[in-house]
């Protein structure tokens, strides 16, 4: 999938020897039969290696173009809450009224203005949502399918500029489902789309509103997005005392405090007490937590040993009954593999803190923008 026109229309910029398979007629001469990766044979022009190299160059070119466009030329387009962007600029296409009646529709990113025959009108979308809900409850469908269906419903809604209670319902379901399956990107999109809808007054129930507000507080805090966290916090003084004392909001504020103070034990306690789906939100950042807390479990204890079980309890405090995706056991195994534990000679429990710390510094990845626990 290319983000720009194929090279034939950019003759000045990109000079290619040989053709790109999509754009031009196959030229005679360089045709040869090569073995494909899956074992079949294909008449490949210029060889697959060259094609792959060309594609790699194009991805670099794409990345360069994107970087150039992303570089600030002081074009401020959105400052505060905005609906998440779709691939095309919505302002450019007129709102259309759909005619499609299909119940199920796969999700495709839009690259041009959509054909009204493929867009479903609201009554159909409502039936489609009920259909998806049914499938979700029977729990026999994979996540990609459910997510794809929901995304196509959302796309149809956005294209038709339908912003009402039904949209809110769709986004709430999408967010909850994304949490169940640990899909951070989806969750982020859904919850950032929910907020402008809520602020327009499309609130079904106050409980849900505050539930998602709490999720947003948790999410922005753990994400390290100080901008947005400050904006969320700035709304708190405007709430009534009764709303501020809601358990979800109080819990979220305590998590913010524990996170900024670096108190991982308190964080774990709050994790076990998290209302609604707070646990799943906090689990989205399990990896970040581990990376930032692990050295704190080693360096201060040097040179005495520390039991492995303690590390496991602190970093992966999951109960056996709690089923989530991925499971705690999987995460722990991944962790163990990457961390190269070194045990104190003569013991299978106690870690040699000095050596483990040395290993950790060696394999430490470059710091992401999320500094984790302070």
Partner 1 sequence: QNDAESVYFFSSSISCPSGAMLLHDLLNTISDMMKKSRGQAVASLLKQRDPQWLSAVGNADVVQYLRHLDGQWPEALGNYVKALYHESRDDYEAALTASTQAVTSFRKQWQEQYEKEHPKPNWSVPIMALLLGKYRVLVMTANEMREDKDNETSTKACNLMTQFFTDCQGDRTQDLDCSRKQGTLYVINNLFKIYFRLNNMRLGKALIKSVEADGSNTFERYKMSQKVTYNYFLGRMCMFDNNYQKAEDHLQYAFANCHRAYTKNKVRILIYLITVQLVRGQFPKQHILQKYGLGVFIELVRACRTGNVRLFDQTMHTQQDWFIRRGIYVILQKAKIICYRNLVYNTYRFINSHTNINFRLKMEYIQHALQICEVDEDESDLEEVECILANLIYSGYIMGYISHSMRMLVLSKKDPFPNPHAS
- 226 makes contact with partner 1 (CB under 8 A): yes
**Residue from 11, 78, 337, 362 that binds partner 1 (CB under 8 A)?**
78
- 182 makes contact with partner 1 (CB under 8 A): no
- 294 makes contact with partner 1 (CB under 8 A): no
Is 289 in contact with 259 (CB distance < 8 Å)?
no
- 215 makes contact with partner 1 (CB under 8 A): no
Q: How far is CA 127 from CA 86, 116, 170, 250, 251, in A?
A: 24, 18, 12, 37, 36
- 370 makes contact with partner 1 (CB under 8 A): no
Question: Residue 94 or 237: which CB sits closer to partner 1?
Answer: 237
Which among 113, 123, 114 has a CA at the least distance from the CA of 164? 123
Cβ atoms within 10 Å, residue 153: 26
- 234 makes contact with partner 1 (CB under 8 A): yes
- 247 makes contact with partner 1 (CB under 8 A): no
- 300 makes contact with partner 1 (CB under 8 A): yes
Which among 295, 307, 312, 311 has a CA at the least distance from the CA of 361? 295
**Residue from 124, 175, 229, 356 that binds partner 1 (CB under 8 A)?**
229
DSSP string, 45-59: ES-HHHHHHHHHHHH
Alpha helices in 25-182 (DSSP H): 48-70, 122-138, 143-159, 165-180
**Residue from 93, 100, 162, 236 that binds partner 1 (CB under 8 A)?**
236
- 355 makes contact with partner 1 (CB under 8 A): no
Q: Binding segment for partner 1 among 49-57, 137-145, 225-233, 358-366 (CB under 8 A)?
A: 225-233
Is 255 in contact with 267 (CB distance < 8 Å)?
yes
The answer for residues whose C-beta is within 8 angstroms of residue 321's C-beta and 6 or more apart is none
| Min separation Cβ 115 and partner 1, Å | 29
Q: How far is CA 81 from CA 160, 194, 371, in A?
A: 20, 10, 24
| Min separation Cβ 270 and partner 1, Å | 11
Q: What number of residues does the chain have? A: 374
Q: Binding segment for partner 1 among 22-30, 123-131, 139-147, 229-237 (CB under 8 A)?
A: 229-237
Question: Residue 147 or 306: which CB sits closer to partner 1?
Answer: 306
**Residue from 42, 164, 200, 364 that binds partner 1 (CB under 8 A)?**
200
C-alpha–C-alpha distance, residues 350 and 347, integer Å: 6
- 72 makes contact with partner 1 (CB under 8 A): yes
DSSP state of 341: -
- 81 makes contact with partner 1 (CB under 8 A): yes
Q: Which residues contact partner 1 by CB under 8 A?
A: 72, 74-82, 196, 199-200, 226-227, 229-231, 233-234, 236-237, 256-257, 260-266, 269, 295-297, 299-307, 310, 371, 374
């Amino acid at each position: 999938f290319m983000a720009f026109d194929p090279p034939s229309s950019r003759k000045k910029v990109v000079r290619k020897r040989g053709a790109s398979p999509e754009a031009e007629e196959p030229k005679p001469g360089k045709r040869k039969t090569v073995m494909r990766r899956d074992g079949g044979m294909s008449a490949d022009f210029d060889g697959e290696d060259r094609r792959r190299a060309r594609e790699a160059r194009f991805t670099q070119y794409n990345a360069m173009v994107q970087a150039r466009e992303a570089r600030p030329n002081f074009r401020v387009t959105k400052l505060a809450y905005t609906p998440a962007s779709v691939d095309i600029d919505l302002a450019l296409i007129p709102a259309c009224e759909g005619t499609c009646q299909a119940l199920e529709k796969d999700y495709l990113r839009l690259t041009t203005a959509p054909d009204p025959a493929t867009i479903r009108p609201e009554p159909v979308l409502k039936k489609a949502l009920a259909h998806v809900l049914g499938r979700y409850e029977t729990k026999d469908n994979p996540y990609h399918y459910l997510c794809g269906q929901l995304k196509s419903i959302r796309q149809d809604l956005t294209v038709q500029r339908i912003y009402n209670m039904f949209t809110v319902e769709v986004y709430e379901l999408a967010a909850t489902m994304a949490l169940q399956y640990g899909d951070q990107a989806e969750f982020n999109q859904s919850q950032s789309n929910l907020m402008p809808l809520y602020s327009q007054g499309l609130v079904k129930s106050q409980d849900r509103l505050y539930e998602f507000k709490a999720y947003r507080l948790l999410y922005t805090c753990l994400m390290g997005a100080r901008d947005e966290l400050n904006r969320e916090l700035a709304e708190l003084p405007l709430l009534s005392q009764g709303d501020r004392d809601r358990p979800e909001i109080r819990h979220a504020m305590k998590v913010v405090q524990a996170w900024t103070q670096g108190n991982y034990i308190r964080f774990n306690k709050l994790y076990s007490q998290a209302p609604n789906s707070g646990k799943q939100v906090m689990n989205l950042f399990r990896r970040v937590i581990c990376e930032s807390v692990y050295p704190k479990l080693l360096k201060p204890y040097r040179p005495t040993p520390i039991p492995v079980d303690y590390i496991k309890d602190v970093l992966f405090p999951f109960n056996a009954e709690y089923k989530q995706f991925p499971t705690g056991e999987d995460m722990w195994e991944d962790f163990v593999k990457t961390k190269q534990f070194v045990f104190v000679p003569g013991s299978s429990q106690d870690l040699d803190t000095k050596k483990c710390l040395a290993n950790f510094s060696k394999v430490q990845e470059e710091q992401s923008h999320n500094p984790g626990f302070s």
